[in-house]
Amino acid sequence: MRKFVIDTDTASDDAVALVMALQHPEIDVRAITVVAGNVPLGQAVQNALYTVELCAADTPVFVGCDKPLLRGLETAEDVHGNDGMGDIGLPLHGRQPASGHAVDSLRSVIRANAGDITLVTLGPLTNVALALSLEPDLADCVERCYVMGGIGSGHGNVTPTAEFNIWVDPEAARIVYESGMPITMVGWDISWKYATFDAKQAEDIRGIGTPLAQFVVDIQSTLTEYAIEESHLPGFDLPDPITMAVAIDPSIAEYHDYRVDVTTGDGLERGITVVDVLGATGNPPQIRVAVSADREAFVAMLKQLVA
């Protein structure tokens, strides 16, 4: 069993990623830590708890930071729905998280499994940055960290050059990227290129017929509309699930090691992942960047885990 800890701002694509990890027979999810991002913190916590319950799992869910390190919180209900799960009427309330703060949970779980723990981040990096600020050598205890964030190449999804998770808390992202932790970045470019589902492809998954298969498609209802109208995609895309697939099976993607810097300005200068492809800065690479992925392998894994 491989040991995972997952940090998430649970909305519709995060929930699919959680399903994949919780259902995988070789993954032991030691903790789920929640951060504000796609939706406010309380809603993200309830969405995570609902997903854990749906998977009949007993993974503890911990409440983390309710806003970025230095900025006000920017959310994405226009993308994922007011409840973050497509506004399809799910009972997303009343469940109780584990006691203790997510930052402390990250520290304790990583310490207890030093050298044998995979960290997967699906939202803004606020919780992780605070944990590293309190214990910088925590970076050395993580076997590998898979970050859904940034852009390896191409355009952004919140500004022309920035991806949402990094944009929400760029100061936190900079701390994490400069921490020395072994990081694999799976940018939004990997999602729209390899993890987009049109209506027929979505129905193919729903047609598997299990409650989980129906759930992972149905909760994309709001995202589908946004993706078609705003992102100009043929249907919803799943950035967090393809990141989880890469964390479970790294052979699904191909990578290059690059120097990646995070900008922390305002306006169009906010939250850009500057990928130094040509080595122009002269600074050594510190991030492994996914540059392509095997869509068929990803879809096959997703189908198997919701079947």
How far from 259 is each of 160, 195, 278, 280, 283, CA to CA, in Å? 21, 25, 9, 10, 7
pLDDT band per the 50, 70, 90 thresholds, residue 35: very high
Mean pLDDT, the chain, whole residue set: 98
Whole-prediction pTM: 0.98
Q: What would the mean pLDDT of 191-216 be, rounded to a whole number?
A: 98
**Which pLDDT tens digit goes with each residue over 155-182?**
999 999 999 999 999 999 999 999 999 9
pLDDT band per the 50, 70, 90 thresholds, residue 42: very high
Q: What would the mean pLDDT of 49-66 be, rounded to a whole number?
A: 98
Q: Which residues pair with 254 in a beta bridge?
A: 292
The enclosing domain of 211 has a CATH number of 3.90.245.10
* Residue range(s) defining the domain that contains residue 20: 2-306
**Which pLDDT tens digit goes with each residue over 241-278?**
999 999 999 999 999 999 999 999 999 999 999 999 99
How many domains does the structure of the chain reveal? 1
Query: What's the rounded Cα separation, in Å, for the pair 236 and 228?
Result: 7
pLDDT at 230: 96
Closest by CA to 60, choosing from 4, 13, 112, is 4
> Cβ neighbours of residue 74 under 8 Å, at least 6 residues apart?
167, 168
pLDDT at 154: 95
Region label for 290, one of left (φ > 0), alpha (ψ between -120 and 50) or beta (otherwise): beta
pLDDT at 30: 98
Contact between 102 and 9 under an 8 Å Cβ cutoff? The reply is no
